[in-house]
Structure 1
Amino acid sequence: MCGIYGTTKTYTEEQVKKKLERTSFRGPDRMGWKKYSSDKTTVIFGHNRLSILDLDSRSDQPFTYQEKIHLVFNGEIYNYRSLRKILKQKGYSFRTTSDTEVICAAYLEYGENCVNQFNGMFAFVIYDEEKQIFYGARDRLGQKPFYYQLNGDKFEFASQLSSIQLFNKDLTISSRGIQEYLSWNYLPSPNSIFNEVKTLKEGYCFVYNLRTHSFKTRQYWDIDYQGQQPFNGSIADAQIELEQVLGDAVKMRLHADVPVGVFLSGGIDSSLIAALAAEHKNNIATFSVKFHEKAYDESKYANMVAKHLNTNHHEILCDYREGIDLVENFSYYYDEPFADPSAIPTMLLAKYTKNHVTVALSGDGGDENFLGYHRYEWIARNRKYMAIPKSIRVLVSNLLKKIPNNNRARVLANLIEKNDIDEAYLRTVANWDAPWLIEPMKPDNFEDLKYLMHSKKNIYERATDFDIKTYLSGVINTKVDRATMAYSLEARAPLLDYRVVELARALPTEYKYTKNNQKRILKEVLYKHVPKQIFDRPKSGFGIPFRIWFREELKEYVLDQLSEEKLNNIPGIQPNIISKCIQEHMDGKWDHYMLIWRLLVLSQWLSTNGRGIAIK
């Protein structure tokens, strides 16, 4: 787990050093860069290393293999040991015990198809001196980030946007990017907050030709969103296969030359990961966050699971004082606007976990793969209403809107007036028609809608497919990467092993969800390891008490940061409507904490990272 950088632009050695120093938190163990000159081309590769495998300096990057292949790599290839054996049999030799060297040999053996051999989370670029090309790739689910700028004959890439932004006078803030952020709460790939910088989409690889300056991307992996490879066995068969695959995914991710622990919230997903990890490591360290506010605190359940599994459990207290410190430094680590409030407790969890381990396993991916979110239950409850003719639903919607001070009625009214269940679901995950936007976002040109808007699967499967390609990649994985990397901690997610994802996508819906029983098959596997009664409670997300803090401890902070004067500096919104929303929240009439957080983040980013840059 590291930070990578590369460019064909002309920068001084001091400038390259500062670009790497800007994201040194991603890899504080060693920093290095090299310049390669050949065929009238100068290439600079840089790397910040967080040492996880083969801690010796021989595995430092930029890494050169057979004097002709140069690599910078961020992430982990979990199957590198088995792949190394195969490559050895084919005649390749190795001087390290790292996965870095295996990538190089795999590229020489398999060419641009080498990425299909890798089971891991990664973003890497290879400079092939003989072919004079960059070959790069990003992992299947987008766990590791990759930003790039192509400007004529100049190419620059990095793990984080700030490395590209530094000493770069060619950037303009994207007005569309701001609109997308306000609509989706993040910047959907391939766009970034800057017009000139793009992100490589998950499951894609690319070739950049240094002679012709052509840049071509190719999708090497995707989910089976059209349902062409269904699982045909019984639920008992599926349970056996899932436990085997997930068990192997956990075992692979426990391998490291540094201490490894587990994030344990006490929920289904993290408890299952902790249980499977405990089978391989005695007294494994587990970590959870505790809140004073009881409605948000699930630490007692994490303690119950930890006690049953006999783990070395650590509890981290989060209050508003710690929270505001993280809020004020948020933009430094996230680089561009990002509005998931659970990023704050995730940062806190990472900050204190790093005091004990360098790698932590997480339960990310369970909700998307196995129908765990509350919004999937909303689909079940409201499908029949959405089948009523729209004209009748609009009449009901208008009546609901007239009910005073009824939050639930207003939300339901906005949803049932949509054209169909697909559009209504889309509205639950996006703010594209929010009344406080100057110009509502039109989602019809959003490429990833193809995963939702088709008829090859039922609405549950289409919704989860869509969430995997958008919310999981753009929100969950971004949150975890930035939050953990801020404190030089590596997070590994066994439920995001592509084999687990492919199996989950193939399973019949009823294996994952039946009435009042979400994540059905995942629970059945869990209950073989941890008592069922611990989980006999409503689902709770990994939230933070912002709705309370914004009305109480952080009230003055919010009113200062989102004053009318400062709201006028935020493009794309209607300040008068926003001010009314903020007052409604303070008066307890309506819960607008997500809107407040979204605007706090954007305002902070514009005043720091975006200062002095034109918006176009």
Structure 2
Amino acid sequence: MCGISGIAYAASMSPPDEHVVLAMRDSLKHRGPDDAWQWTAPGVALGSRRLAILDLSSRGRMPMSTPDGRYWTTYNGEVYNFRELRAGLTARGHSFLSNTDTEVILRLFADLGPAMLDRLNGMFALAIWDAGERSLFLARDRLGVKPLYYAARDGRLFFASEQKALFAAGVPARFDASTWEELLCFRYVGGERTVYEGIHRLLPGHYLIWKDGTTTIRRWWSLAGRVRELRDKEGPGDPVRWFRETFDSSVDLRRISDVPVGVLLSGGLDSSSVAASLALQAGRGVASFTVRFRERAFDEGPLARQVARRFGLEYHEITVGPDNLLERLRRASFLNDEPLAHGNDLHILAISEYAKPRVTVLLSGEGGDETLGGYVRYRPLSSTRLLALARRILPWIHSRVRLRGRLGKLARFLELESVDRFVMYNSCDVLPNDLRRLGMESGNEPQYRRSILEEAAQLYPFEPLRQAMYCDQHTFLCSVLDRNDRMTMGASIECRVPFLDVRLVEGLAALSSPALLSGGPGKALLLSQGRQLPRSPDQGIDDGGGLARCLYPSIAKRALRGIRMHLTFRDKLSVLLSILVWSGLATIGRRYLGNDAWIVALGLALVIVLMTQFELYRRLQDALRQHHAEPTPNYRQVEALFSLFASLPIDQPLPPMRASAISPDFANTLVSLIRELRPQIVLELGSGVSTIITAYCLKQSGQGRLMSLEQDEGYARLSRADLARRGLEDRATVLHAPLRPLTLDGRTWSWYDPTPIEPLHGIDLVVVDGPLQEQQPERLLRYPALPVLLGKLSPRAAILLDDCNREDERRVVETWLKEFPGFEAERLPGEKGTVVLRRPG
């Protein structure tokens, strides 16, 4: 499991700057904290952040190549049948260097090309560069469990696991206003489009080939096509037995791992079935993780505990309430990149973070409702006759006595013009008619959703319930899977979904409705498995809205107030907009939409306030373009600053940069050097912004400490306070070291008091940004750094010197090289001039 990123471009174009490639890669660190690497060649740059699951050694490092170097891949996901595929490749003469599924996929592609996708059973998003053809191949799994985004810009193709990596490369984060209606009704933009102009999803079951600036996209898997093929064959004689055996096989395949595996256990039928199957096959002691709520009406903790006790699971739970939800909301919004579409995003994130110290892989029950017909909203579609009768009666009653709850929602649905529209909008809480009541003119239907509905109608004529399930499998389920991916990977957890094994998805879709539904929705096949699971009265159906109703009223005002405060210093206009939108939705929602939709309106208010940040992104991109048009170095520094914020967890504004402080491009060089060296001890001469940047980087890597010498006592106090405010004091220490006379080879210098560094040995990195030239008239002021520290350096140490465009610093470097011939100097591009000294080799 990984975060992947990359850029493809024509050979005639200049390659992307290295810091852009690294910024893309490292913006996805949460997806892969175990390893990071990148590979560049003419026409391509690939990046990978690895979460090690199979073969934890460095042999699993990506990007990975075939032995001849023709094919290179960066890959995210798991192919569960990779051992079977590997055996077939071995029989054909292939040998393998690792025990990863990555290598198997790469060799299979070298043999079969895109046709190899049909052989994969798993979840994946992958990129393969063919150096012979100079082409890039992108592909995504059948149901879209793993995400993949791309953007074509200025003759280049950018791709990544998450949109934030595209932003880090300079792709504009500009909100697409034409998606508003779909976003408000469905809470998610279906299909290839996203909420950002010019940024696309690669659709599930599709692949893309880029060559010489031309992009070709093909659908390699069609559920409708597979159902028709299976209908031509003899189906399972005993659907109940077939489902049980296939489901258990699916769970068993998803146990493949070299790290601990656990299960997300809600107490509901889907997750309980996964947990039971996992426990029966893996034995007692599998870790289960449950989110509980203080509100008894929404708490399934007692059921989850019964399941854990019955099947010998190691039970873990956390209780989530309104406290700290605002901070989780901000974190989840950052991870998701788009507005949050579901009421339980924050809780999946919380339980994943809780589970991470114990496991790296979790199984979950997503997909059961969409494939087995579990949603209660499917029920009205099970009888077209009753639906026609209700259409004549309920809207009339609703217009005179405002119905509440499910009857009120059904009445609103029946106001739609046709059964087709009832099917299309089945997953919505807000309908086009509601938008009209709010004064919004409803535009055209979302074209992708309409095309899927047409596929569904051809596959299941006169069966609106099956049509709704098919539509959900291509739209609503995608939003569920995106949520699951972002919230679990945000905690560096891989989440696997047994209900979406290709054998189950295709086989269930091909069953007749009587065999699948036993006369009505409610997961009859799952209930007939005989596992004796503890059940609540509503188990087997899913309301889908209870969690949001539980939480939104208690946190909405607090969250909105906090977010407005968070944005005040950045954009007062956005604050005003958020207040007006929230107040308007609240008033109109109470008056027109009824209780359930009022809760949704509160959620949408949260969404809208968060989306004001899109405007801030847009303004930053406008600033970048303006600076790029000017013949000044400003553009490069703004770009470098944007890259810096994308690659580090900087949660507060930085002190002013440039002038006497370091420039953003120097800060990026410092970050790259730290990531390359992974230093245990860093010594800095002169504190300031570089102190903060270094501390952030060390904290991000989880190792190393910084000692900073500062000649000015007042400035040392300020630096220490800044570190404490950011929670970085465990990684950095600022010491007051006033300038003292220092004699070297008969010459006296003013240099830092060396007393604090006398115990130091094995220094891996020295950052020389002091003493300040302005305060001391001596020439070669920074010269003493190397002779004083030489005996304290580790063999692999590097010395990073800023301000090398100045005559004095240039002479310092020349003198060092002359007097210490064991060092070599590399001059790096930078606004003020940057030099790195190292020992060769």
Map 1:575-590 onto structure 2 (within 5 A).
Answer: 577-581=584-588
Deviation of the 1:100 alpha carbon = 0.6
Q: Is the 8 A contact 2:375 2:521 kept in 1?
A: no
Task: Tell me: CA distance 1:234–1:54, structure 2 relative to 1, closer, same or farther (3 Å).
Answer: closer
Amino acid corresponding to residue 20 of structure 1 in structure 2: R
Larger deviation: 237-246 or 51-60? 237-246
Give the Cα–Cα distance (whole angstroms) in 2 for the partners of residues 546 and 460 of structure 1.
Answer: 25
Map 1:142-291 onto structure 2 (within 5 A).
Answer: 142-168=144-170, 170=172, 172-209=174-211, 211=212, 213-224=213-224, 228=228, 229-230=230-231, 237-282=238-283, 283-291=285-293
Amino acid corresponding to residue 608 of structure 2 in structure 1: L
Give the Cα–Cα distance (whole angstroms) in 2 for the partners of residues 592 and 132 of structure 1.
Answer: 54
- Which of 489, 512, 537 aligns to 1:485? It is 489
Amino acid corresponding to residue 483 of structure 2 in structure 1: K
Give the Cα–Cα distance (whole angstroms) in 2 for the partners of residues 568 and 589 of structure 1.
Answer: 26
Give the Cα–Cα distance (whole angstroms) in 2 for the partners of residues 609 and 171 of structure 1.
Answer: 9
Matched, 1:607 2:609: no
Deviation of the 1:22 alpha carbon = 1.5
- Which of 119, 124, 127 aligns to 2:126? It is 124
Task: Tell me: CA distance 1:494–1:611, structure 2 relative to 1, closer, same or farther (3 Å).
Answer: same
Map 1:13-412 onto structure 2 (within 5 A).
Answer: 13-37=18-42, 41=43, 43-66=44-67, 67-168=69-170, 170=172, 172-209=174-211, 211=212, 213-224=213-224, 228=228, 229-230=230-231, 237-282=238-283, 283-380=285-382, 383-388=384-389, 392=392, 397-404=395-402, 406=404, 410-412=408-410
Amino acid corresponding to residue 53 of structure 2 in structure 1: I
Number of aligned residue pairs: 600
Deviation of the 1:415 alpha carbon = 1.9
Give the Cα–Cα distance (whole angstroms) in 1 for the partners of residues 156 and 547 of structure 2.
Answer: 46
**Deviation per residue, 1:199-234 (Å, 9 max, x gap):** 10000011111x3x1111111111127953339878
Matching residue of 1:508? 512
RMSD (Å) for aligned C-alpha atoms: 3.0
Task: Tell me: CA distance 1:558–1:285, structure 2 relative to 1, closer, same or farther (3 Å).
Answer: same
Q: Is the 8 A contact 1:68 1:128 kept in 2?
A: yes
Task: Tell me: CA distance 1:98–1:232, structure 2 relative to 1, closer, same or farther (3 Å).
Answer: closer
Give the Cα–Cα distance (whole angstroms) in 2 for the partners of residues 551 and 517 of structure 1.
Answer: 31
Task: Tell me: CA distance 1:234–1:34, structure 2 relative to 1, closer, same or farther (3 Å).
Answer: closer
Give the Cα–Cα distance (whole angstroms) in 2 for the partners of residues 455 and 133 of structure 1.
Answer: 36
Q: Is the 8 A contact 1:231 1:506 kept in 2?
A: no
Give the Cα–Cα distance (whole angstroms) in 1 for the partners of residues 300 and 73 of structure 2.
Answer: 43
Amino acid corresponding to residue 586 of structure 2 in structure 1: S
Give the Cα–Cα distance (whole angstroms) in 1 for the partners of residues 5 and 573 of structure 2.
Answer: 38
Task: Tell me: CA distance 1:278–1:411, structure 2 relative to 1, closer, same or farther (3 Å).
Answer: closer
Task: Tell me: CA distance 1:334–1:610, structure 2 relative to 1, closer, same or farther (3 Å).
Answer: farther
- Which of 493, 510, 522 aligns to 1:518? It is 522
Task: Tell me: CA distance 1:454–1:180, structure 2 relative to 1, closer, same or farther (3 Å).
Answer: same
The secondary structure found in structure 2 opposite 1:316 is strand
Q: Is the 8 A contact 1:405 1:589 kept in 2?
A: no
Structure 2 residue runs without a partner (length 5+): 10-14, 566-571, 623-841
Q: Is the 8 A contact 1:173 1:615 kept in 2?
A: no
Amino acid corresponding to residue 488 of structure 1 in structure 2: S
Task: Tell me: CA distance 1:304–1:410, structure 2 relative to 1, closer, same or farther (3 Å).
Answer: closer
The secondary structure found in structure 1 opposite 2:85 is helix
Give the Cα–Cα distance (whole angstroms) in 2 for the partners of residues 28 and 187 of structure 1.
Answer: 30
Q: Is the 8 A contact 1:288 1:314 kept in 2?
A: yes
Matched, 1:414 2:412: yes
Deviation of the 1:580 alpha carbon = 1.1
**Deviation per residue, 1:493-531 (Å, 9 max, x gap):** 111011110111011212232356611111112x2x3x2
Deviation of the 1:246 alpha carbon = 1.6
Q: Is the 8 A contact 1:284 1:312 kept in 2?
A: yes
Give the Cα–Cα distance (whole angstroms) in 2 for the partners of residues 471 and 460 of structure 1.
Answer: 15
Amino acid corresponding to residue 175 of structure 1 in structure 2: A
Give the Cα–Cα distance (whole angstroms) in 2 for the partners of residues 552 and 533 of structure 1.
Answer: 30
Give the Cα–Cα distance (whole angstroms) in 1 for the partners of residues 263 and 325 of structure 2.
Answer: 22
- Which of 424, 427, 439 aligns to 1:429? It is 427
**TM-score, normalization by structure 1:** 0.90
**Deviation per residue, 1:297-334 (Å, 9 max, x gap):** 00111111111101111112111114332112222100
Q: Which has the larger radius of gyration?
A: 2
The secondary structure found in structure 2 opposite 1:6 is strand
- Which of 446, 449, 454 aligns to 1:450? It is 454
Larger deviation: 180-189 or 115-124? 180-189
Amino acid corresponding to residue 248 of structure 2 in structure 1: G
The secondary structure found in structure 2 opposite 1:8 is strand
The secondary structure found in structure 2 opposite 1:180 is helix
Overall identity of the aligned pairs, in %:
26
**TM-score, normalization by structure 2:** 0.67
Give the Cα–Cα distance (whole angstroms) in 2 for the partners of residues 227 and 112 of structure 1.
Answer: 22
Amino acid corresponding to residue 244 of structure 2 in structure 1: E
Task: Tell me: CA distance 1:54–1:556, structure 2 relative to 1, closer, same or farther (3 Å).
Answer: closer
Map 1:564-583 onto structure 2 (within 5 A).
Answer: 569=577, 577-581=584-588
Give the Cα–Cα distance (whole angstroms) in 1 for the partners of residues 87 and 141 of structure 2.
Answer: 22
Deviation of the 1:280 alpha carbon = 2.4
Structure 1 residue runs without a partner (length 5+): none
Task: Tell me: CA distance 1:215–1:414, structure 2 relative to 1, closer, same or farther (3 Å).
Answer: same
Amino acid corresponding to residue 474 of structure 2 in structure 1: K
Give the Cα–Cα distance (whole angstroms) in 2 for the partners of residues 503 and 97 of structure 1.
Answer: 31
Task: Tell me: CA distance 1:518–1:189, structure 2 relative to 1, closer, same or farther (3 Å).
Answer: same
Deviation of the 1:286 alpha carbon = 1.1
